[in-house]
Every structure is written in structure tokens, then in C-alpha cells.
Structure 1
Amino acid sequence: MSGLTIDHISHSYDGGKTVLQGVNYHVGDGEFHCLVGRSGCGKTSFLKIASGLMKAEVGHILLDGQQVLKPIADAGFVFQSPTLLEWKTVLENVLFPIELKRKSTLEEQDRAKALLELMKIEQHTYSFPLQLSGGQQSRVAIARALIKNPQYLFLDEPFAALDAITREELQDDLLALCAHHQMTVLFITHDIAEAIYVADHVLVMEEGKIVHTETIDLPKPRTLDTRYSSRFNELGFVLRQALEGVPVK
């Protein structure tokens, strides 16, 4: 089976509380999946195991039918904190995943500049991170994650610390980039509205289990009108019920 398969995953830390319990899930090629749930429900552990950053105690991760035993090579990662290197310019930060192993080529440098333009931050190509706003730093982090043109993108609450308007702008930019590059995405958020807006499918997690999945049947591309449609509100109500443990019809 193509895509990313989470097969009967269970995990606990140092023999303590179980954070994932018999989780099964499949992420199809080119799909955008969001995980929502309260803090401590297992979302980040799920993402780390699914991406190969962490090994599960029980179960397997399969990528196109092959077991994942190490971090997925063809993947980009974006976390809540941009974790940019303060002593490097924006361009150098974007190129850093390449420069870790070898000197970047002129073609790769041009690609980095093109990504900065796509993320609407090209005017800061030679600025340093401390000269940027939080939203600008997040744009750089996304560009860095995309520099190797990955097939998979894993994001752990990348916009959580941003103001609402900046957050919505970045959601639109991310969707455009993912559509352009046909990436497969696993995205963690606490924000139900964010999940509905960006995702094809939303998973609700509670106490280490997936308790509900919802296909987001909103038309694409998503627009400002999408956020205020009756269907958007209906989906929000369904997911809120699932988070509260109310049986969803």
C-alpha cells in the first residue's frame, strides 16, 4: 500500500504512562491530515513515531509498504519554535539542511531564494533571525523544511504562538505550497478551526487513541468565504463534540 501506514502503534515513556494505545491509521499520498486533541493526548508522540524520529515500543510504521526504521529521509519538519540559527542569515538558515553535509550549489541557492519569495519574505534574505517578527521566522522555518523538496511534511503546532491574522496568512501560504509540491502532510494543532481550514482529514485524539476521524469536504482552494460558511461551522461543531467525548452521529 502506498503512503504512510501506522500499524498497531503503542508507546510509553520509561515504563510510565502509556501515551499511545494500539493506534492504526493511514495517510495517503498527497493528503493533508491534521491531529487535534488536548495537551498530553499523544499527538506529538504520534507525529514523532510516524516520521521515524522516534521508535515505538509496539507496532510498525510503513512507508509505501516498507518498514520505517529511521527518520524519513524525504521529509521536512516544522516545529512550534522556528529554532533558527541566530548567527546565520535567513538564506543561510534555509540552506542549512544542505550545508550540514556539503556546500550548497548555485541551483540550490536559487531554489532557497525562490522559496523565500513564495513565502513572501524575500526582502529579508540577508537579514538575521533576531531582526524578524515571529511570523517572519515561521516563514523561514517552512522554507527551510522545503529546501530539499520533500514528499512528506511534518508540522507540530507551527503557528501556535502567532497572532490570528498572521496565522491565517501562513495557513493560506502553506496550503498553496503543499498543493504546488503535492506533498503529504501531517499537522498538529490545538485549533479546531485551523484543522478544518487546512486539512483533508482531521483526527481527534484522546488518551493515546484516535477517537474520531472526519473527512473535510470543503471545496478547494480554501478562501476567506470558507471560514464563514455554514459547512465550516457544522464541521467545527462535530469536532468539538468529539473532543468533549460526545458521540458523533
Structure 2
Amino acid sequence: MIIRFHSDLANTNWKTRFEGLDAKGKITMYRLVEGSEEVEEKKQDKEAKQKSFKTGPTNTVVDGQAIYQTEITDQAVINFLKATPYWQDGRVAEYDPLAENKKIEEILVRDAEIVAKVANISEKDELVKYGYYLFGKSTLTKAAQDDYSGIKADLIKHTYQNPEEMIKVLDKNNKQVAEHMEAALAFAKGILVESEGGKSISWAETKVRVVSVVVGQKPLDALIDFYGTTEGKEVKQLVGQKIVESAKETVSASAKTNTEK
């Protein structure tokens, strides 16, 4: 069995007799002895000779952390290590290359699927919505320039670099993210805009200020906070109505185009 030891436990002469807890939570004395795989002292031969155990210096690096890795075939030592609190807290652990490779394969497949999902987003409003949530005003600037390919490229690049975050962003069951997505859609559809250099949010059509943005706060977060107020709830409802109207206009325009064809 390949065993990995945290750097704190490397190059150490171990105490091979210690008091710990058994599987039932009872205080038990453990001891590593010669000629037996049993490590509970009460079950060992009283004449059994205690055995020493020593780890070597760190010899490899995993995830930026130096560790000591070695193969142990002595079942008594394995049983002893499994009884220590270090096995429970993960500072001593088995390393299974096959299981590790399987895990890496699953992660790579998952990441490829999420990248493909982002690459297949075709609706402009969707691209801007996700882009604004992640990158802020730079996405709105690209949308104004009709640079939707640039927005998608930003999203794909971000997905490659932060797949875990994108999984959460695309998860419609994540209520917190969903709330931000709904707010971001108002900017994507041009219902709301950042104004005064990002110091406020206004109605795009009338230029009337909706809410001010405090220093250091993202406009989207300011809008979410505002939505939680009495006045904000009314604005949120109105924004929702405008989003629905915008969607109906899009469907109508699409149907008209198809009819003309």
C-alpha cells in the first residue's frame, strides 16, 4: 500500500504506543509490536516486543505541498497507522494511483462538458447576462460594440480557468446565483444601465436613477441589495414585467421574420 504523510509527520521517529479511541469511541491503548498484525494492546501477547517505526524526509510534492510518500507492505504498520488520529484527519492517507487517475478522468470529462455547454450558448442576452455577472461593465461595452464573439470567448476562457465557479453559475437550482442572473438579465436586455461611471444604476429609457452604488460595491450587488427593500421590490417587479415584454417582442419579431421567409 502506498502511504502519504503530511510534511509535519515526515522524518519522524514515531511513538509506537499511544492511547486513542476505537471504532466505538472507547479509550484504547494501541501498540505496534513484532510478529503480530494486532495493534490493540489488550489483544496482544504481553511478552510481545514493541516495534519502532520511522518516516523519511519529504520526497515528493502534491498540490504544492511537500509530503513523504512510501510503499508499506507490513500489515501491522498499516493497521497501526489506521488507528492513529492522523489517519482520521487525513495527514496520513492511502494513495491509490488507479483511483486517482479515475478521479482525474472524471474531472476532465466534467470540465469538458461545462466548456461545451458555455460554447453552445447562442442567445445574445444569455451571453451578456453571464458575462455581466462575471466581468461587469466590460461585457456591456462589448455588447454595445456588437462583439458577442468576444463575450463568448471571455466566458469560455473563464470556464477553462474556473470550471467549479461556472458549474455554480449555470446551476439554475442555486438560488443565490439565480437571483444575480435575473438581475443581470435586466442589464443584458438594456432595461437598466450603469450610470455616473458606475456610481449608480438607472432606467435605460428614461435615465432616471434607480439606486446609488456605494464605493467599493459592484453595481449588480447594489441592485440585489436594493431589491430587498420595499421600494426595490416594486422596481424588481417592474423590471420583471419589462423582461417578459422584451421576450414577447423577441418571439413576435422572430415569428414575423419566419413568416416573411
TM-score of the superposition, structure 1-length normalised?
0.21
Higher helix share: 2
Tell me: higher relative CO, structure 1 or 2? Use CA pairs within 8 A at least 6 residues apart: 1
